[in-house]
Structure 1
Amino acid sequence: MSELLVDKRGHAAWLTLNRPERLNALNTGLKAELVAAAVDVTLDPEVWVVVLRGAGGRAFSVGGDLKDMHARGRAATPMIEVERNVYEAVLEIPKPTVAVVDGYALGGGCELAMACDLRVASDDAVFGMPESHRGMGANFGSVVLPRLIPRAVAMEMLYFGDRVPADRARELGLVNRVWPKAELDERVEEWVAELLTRAPLTLRRYKEMAGKGWEMPVPAHLRLNAGPNPYLSEDRAEGAAAFAEKRPPRWQGR
């Protein structure tokens, strides 16, 4: 069975890390499948939203598979390997991405969640960057985490490697929603369904503008003009017509 399950339903692609017996640890094969899936959903015009989750209910992902690293005789050095970096591939999907964290999101698993635009969690979810306990580097996390939450808190998480429960993660702004574990699947389905009622070109525009201009000066950022142009789209005309006619819009993504 594939280590990554891909389920396209309507305009959403649901990607499920499928190594529950290893708490969805990221081995070489799973990372390769994730990169390939990131390319596929990027190129598929029928996919408007991407959801990333873990199988089994115990973990989103506990990060890099240390047994896999040991068997290969070395750990991968980020950004200089032949293979594309999996976190970068997910980060650069030009459509809204949602990480659904049920259980542990540790190390590379936490980084994978950070690569998504939105993060929702079960009330028993736990986040952490334990690389300082393992002699690893958390290359992606050390760059992105201080941009997502207050810098001093991010550095404490990185330095000490302590675990952060879901409620605290939400307080810090690392997580958007926390729901009871028994209700997680239903709540996520509803949240994604609501997101899909928003204009897809507008969402893509937001992602491109916010991401590509992350640290640009405001005057330059305002002139970036990244992503699809919703102002001249058929969807913009449809949105105005739907408002005037008091009906839900019928988006086409063009």
Structure 2
Amino acid sequence: MSDGLIAGTPDEVLYEVTDHVARITINRPERRNAMSRHTVQLLLEAFVEAGEDPDVWAVVITGTGDKAFCAGGDLKEMNSIAKAGRQVHTPMTGVHRAMLEVIVETYKPVIAAINGHALAGGCEIALAADIRIAVEGTTIGLTEAKRGMGANFGSIVLPRLVPRGYAMDMLYTGRMVPVEEAAQIGLVNKVVSRESFEEEVEAYVRSIVANSPVSTRRYKEMAVKGWGLPLASALRLNVGPNPYTSEDRAEGVAAFVEKRAPQWKNK
């Protein structure tokens, strides 16, 4: 692989939109859905497209197969790059610096459907999502310390999501935490059986897109941009679509009064 050339195939990431839901699937089961540089590029493109498409009201990110959601970065590729005398990617540099930020800043509900182990960069993708639904018996963990790496995103975000002591334990030990344990502290929202996994994810996503997309987009943008701000400042942000002056608000109220299902216009 020459400098500046990102090798890979277009189907490393699958993208489809059905009934207002964009489904993004990391499709490298032979590599436990590890992310090559090309995979990262395709994930970026998929999330940008989902964020810009007005017909998309929610996003599901998952992996192919039942072994791994995503095993993190492709260590074989990293090893080949290093042996060729080139520098492996450093977070927050270069053209791919914003992949996890793009997920966070996709101002629509993002659900990580954790179909298998979510480790290292795969765990960070799950952390960047709003909701995490996992298959029982799988694990989630930031294993970078075992490989001399840094978990740049995870080391900042994980302590904001769970108690700091728990977060630092995960970071320092690099242990693979059973999703059942992670659910006890809210790191995972829901743990379901393999047999009912797809059905449970679909039912949950449907419960989101049944609501006004104007409201859910507002929630996402306010929550992301208000994170870490003092309460008085966050309350005055007024970012995202304004539901109070929207056609959806008028429709939602009318539908309630008329005892019928609302017909959202997303405006």
TM-score, length basis structure 1: 0.98
Query: In the alignment, residue 220 of structure 2 is paired with which amino acid?
Result: K
Q: Which residues of structure 2 form unaligned runs of 5+? A: 1-9
* 2:132 matched residue in structure 1: 119
Displacement after TM superposition at 1:82 (Å)? 2.8
* 2:28 matched residue in structure 1: 19
Aligned residue among 51, 55, 62 for 1:53: 62
Q: Secondary structure at the match of 1:114?
A: helix
Matches within 5 A, 1:1-254: 2-73=11-82, 74-254=87-267
Displacement after TM superposition at 1:233 (Å)? 0.3
Cα deviation code 1:224-243 (max 9, x no counterpart): 00111000000000000000
Q: How far, CA to CA, are the matches of 1:100 and 1:151 in structure 2?
A: 25
Q: Secondary structure at the match of 1:124?
A: coil
Query: In the alignment, residue 227 of structure 1 is paired with which amino acid?
Result: G
Q: How far, CA to CA, are the matches of 1:80 and 1:23 in structure 2?
A: 26
Report sequence identity in percent: 49
Q: Which residues of structure 1 form unaligned runs of 5+? A: none
- The answer to whether the 8 A contact 1:35-1:84 is kept is no
Displacement after TM superposition at 1:83 (Å)? 2.6
* 2:5 matched residue in structure 1: none
- The answer to whether the 8 A contact 2:32-2:68 is kept is yes
Q: How far, CA to CA, are the matches of 2:218 and 2:207 in structure 1?
A: 18
Aligned residues: 254
TM-score, length basis structure 2: 0.93
Cα deviation code 1:156-188 (max 9, x no counterpart): 100011111111111111111111111101111
Query: In the alignment, residue 167 of structure 1 is paired with which amino acid?
Result: E
Q: Secondary structure at the match of 1:182?
A: coil
The CA RMSD measured in Å over matched residues stands at 0.9
Q: How far, CA to CA, are the matches of 2:97 and 2:259 in structure 1?
A: 47
